[in-house]
Amino acid sequence: MLRWLRGQPLSIEDAPWQHACETLPWVRGLTPAQQLTLRALAARFLHQKTITPLGDLTLDEAARVQLAALCCLPLLEFGIGGLRGWSQLIIYPEAFRVQRSHVDAAGVLHEWEDELAGEAWDSGPLILSWADVQADIADPASGFCVAVHEMAHKLDALNGQADGSPPLPGAWQRAWTRDFQQHYDALCARVDAGKRTRIDDYAAESPEEFFAVVSEYHFSAPQVLREAMPEVAEHLTKLYGAPPTLF
Ligand SMILES: [Zn+2]
């Protein structure tokens, strides 16, 4: 009764947690202390968020724990505050189509369809494609991790505007903005010149996408990021903790 009054203890059973550690390369590659922190964060995630599979997709307890662990990877240093402001995780079986529209400077309406592996709505749901999550797991050092990408958008939106930066203390914020802007501009210049880039050129879409894409590299190809953008890698190590050792 007392326990009920105080609320259910937030914990994850050993079996699904062990499964997550064994099947998720980024979790397997964390230090034991980081794994312990991640387990507590994932328990809180499962308590706070409703996970809804769509279509004929079903998700058992082990799959839900996997998703919670993946989404909490970017919160190892940031902490529980990174879960603020939204409550729904929606899982499509495959990549999903969305309608886009844009009115250009001449007032002409453009409409098109995008196929997405994930999406994060401002104060709304976080959406992932289960097939793309599985593809990331199968190739963990590829530079792709859609769950981390979308969670970076959620961190970005915490200070009310998606601008390519999570909320940070003042001095760090200024250094972050300076270094991110410099590397973003350099990447855009290379893309505009038709040159090859080491970081996926989707990062040149906007400062928000830049932050989300380099966050994927922090977890799945940290060496590439460190070589291509050492100052950005440094900021992300401070924000996310040391990247996992992938083996
Ligand atoms: Zn994005």
Q: Who contacts 7 (Cβ-Cβ below 8 Å, separation ≥6)?
A: none
pTM (whole model) above 0.75: yes
Question: How far, in Å, from the CA of 11 to the mean position of ligand 1?
Answer: 31
Which pLDDT score, from 0 to 100, does residue 97 have?
Answer: 87
Helix (H, G, I), strand (E, B) or coil at 113: strand
Could you give all domains of the chain from N- to C-terminal order, each with its CATH number? Answer: 2-240 (1.10.472.150)
Ion ligand 1 residues within 5 Å by Cβ: 209, 212
- Return d(Cα 119, Cα 150) in angstroms, integer: 6
Taking the CB of residue 114, how many other CB atoms lie within 10 A of it? 11
Which pLDDT score, from 0 to 100, does residue 10 have?
Answer: 78
Residues 39-58 have pLDDT tens digits of 999 999 999 999 999 999 99
Question: How far, in Å, from the CA of 151 to the mean position of ligand 1?
Answer: 9
Question: How far, in Å, from the CA of 139 to the mean position of ligand 1?
Answer: 20
Helix (H, G, I), strand (E, B) or coil at 99: strand
Question: How far, in Å, from the CA of 200 to the mean position of ligand 1?
Answer: 12
Q: Does the pLDDT at position 9 exceed 70?
A: no
Q: To which residue do tokens 């494609």 refer?
A: 129
Question: How far, in Å, from the CA of 41 to the mean position of ligand 1?
Answer: 23
Which pLDDT score, from 0 to 100, does residue 121 have?
Answer: 84
Which pLDDT band holds residue 38 (cuts at 50, 70, 90)? very high
Question: How far, in Å, from the CA of 150 to the mean position of ligand 1?
Answer: 6
Residues 11-23 have pLDDT tens digits of 999 999 999 999 9
* 112 neighbors 179 (Cβ within 8 angstroms): no
